[in-house]
Amino acid sequence: MQKNLVTLTLAFLLVVSACGSSATESTSTVNETATSTTVVAPTTVVEATTDTGSESEVSVEEEVVDEGMAREEIINQLLEMLQEEGLPIDVSDLYDYAACVVDGVSGESNDSYATMLETILDDEDAYGSEIDDILPGCTEELESFLEQELSDSDGFISESVRIEFDSGGNGASVEGELTTESLHAYVLGASAGQTMTIWLDSPDKTAVVDVWTPEGDFLTSGSLFANRNSDIFVTLPDDGDYYLDVYLLEDSDCCQSSDEIPYELTVFVEEGIETEAVQFLPEDSWTVIEGGVLQGERGQFYELTALADQAMLVSIESLEDNAVYDVISPSGNILLQEKTSESTTMIVLPEDGKYLIRTGSSRGNTSYTLTVDIWSIPFVENVFVEEFGRTVTLEGGSLQGEPGPVYIVPIEEGLKYSISVTSLEDNAVVNLVAPNGDVLVSEDTVVIGTAFEGGDYLIQVGGTRGNVSYILEVTLGIE
């Protein structure tokens, strides 16, 4: 982990040198000797040695002031981006090193700071070659400083533990206990093109794992998407040692700082996969796939491209009642896991890109029929019921043949809820989807139940015929 944070910091200095100053127009700056990142930037003023009324001397003074301000702006953009990364150090201590990068680029390019700032705003990829030339001279001392800072972080970061597989095996499990002030680091070797599957089990999914490449670049995390801590399946880009960091979510209200939360981390590394493209007929949003898996085989992988905030509906049927499937996001998050024919699942897709559907068998051989439906949602709206017993009323409508909107409602485990929809045309219905993706209710007008798990429940409103205008009422904590 220490290596990862050092590399992350150095990478940000490099990347932000090229494009960071265009990220915001913030005037927040860092003074070289200050411990706060919000003090006013210093400016450089040249004392006039002749008549202060001279226009030439005034212009020289203004030019120097502008240069100083431009230099500070670029430096502070670097520091602000580092601060946003939540590094366990005071980023104001990195002022000298950020200044080294900025000064080095200016010297290497022979550009003034004002010209640099203007150039970067026009071209975020500017000064790439200059950065490559000067960065080694700035990073040696920075790397030493960061490693010292991290080594003094009161045991927040553990020494990396190497995960090794038994002879002939491709997986292993480790266990540990975390506090809100600790992080456990693991390392294991793998090859480019192999796949890594990571399962992380902890009470209420409070623990999360991040994955870093051998070069120290961030690969993926189980906490990329709000209110979801997913397991991971990812194809590896490089040969070498991969680093896995396990820690508790920052916003977790599970425990006090001294509480020890147990976890079990399971990792499998397997050979690369071959995928089959999912084909949709023209003008159709759904397709049916026939397939099979022999006992002991890995299963089939189907690939399809979709967009964030589209909806995906998946179901599987098998004569043997033993077919299962996973849905994996482009970032490698397992969004749905080991779903069976017992339920149809629906999710709102969290990102653009190529999704995988992996089929398999829970036992023996299986032959299956997989149905996949993807459609665009008019809008997705978060709904918060702030007081138990209070009813939130929402009004809307949808046109004939078009899907209705989706409302996301957080509901605590064990809480009783009531959902109802009415319409003048008497044709409005709702679908209710649990946080695990299972469709609990389909095309009903009144739903009363108790949340069997906490998380985000999806309510989709639609119509059984024609256009529909509706009134949706959601009540939590009913008697």
Domain at 246, CATH number: 2.60.120.380
CA distance 71 to 43: 10
Residue 306 lies in a domain: yes
For residues 411 and 451, state if they share a domain. yes
Q: Select from 376, 406, 440 the last residue of a domain.
A: 376
pLDDT at 9 (0 to 100):
47
Q: What is the largest CA-CA distance in the chain?
A: 97
For residues 128 and 34, state if they share a domain. yes
Q: Select from 230, 254, 270 the last residue of a domain.
A: 270
- Helix (H) / strand (E) element for 35: namely none
For residues 304 and 321, state if they share a domain. yes
pTM over 0.85: no
Pairing between β-strand 195-201 and β-strand 261-270 as defined by DSSP bridges: antiparallel
Owning domain of residue 407: 380-476
pLDDT at 48 (0 to 100):
40
Residue 469 lies in a domain: yes
For residues 11 and 93, state if they share a domain. yes
pLDDT at 265 (0 to 100):
95
pLDDT at 444 (0 to 100):
96
For residues 147 and 7, state if they share a domain. yes
Residue 299 lies in a domain: yes
For residues 314 and 362, state if they share a domain. yes
pLDDT at 13 (0 to 100):
44
Residue 156 lies in a domain: no
Give every CB contact of residue 151 below 8 A, 6+ residues apart in sequence: 2
pLDDT profile of the chain (479 residues), mean per 10: 44 42 36 33 38 51 73 84 63 80 88 87 78 74 61 60 92 92 92 96 87 92 73 96 89 66 95 93 88 90 95 95 95 94 93 96 94 94 86 92 92 94 94 95 95 93 93 89
For residues 12 and 38, state if they share a domain. yes
Buried b / exposed e over 427-464, threshold 16 CB at 10 Å, is bbbbbbbbbbbbbbbeeebebebebeeebbbbbbbbbe
The total domain count for the chain is 4
Q: Select from 343, 376, 409 the last residue of a domain.
A: 376
For residues 10 and 42, state if they share a domain. yes
For residues 256 and 211, state if they share a domain. yes
CA 398 to chain CA centroid, Å, is: 31
For residue 177, the cross-strand partners are 262
For residues 10 and 132, state if they share a domain. yes
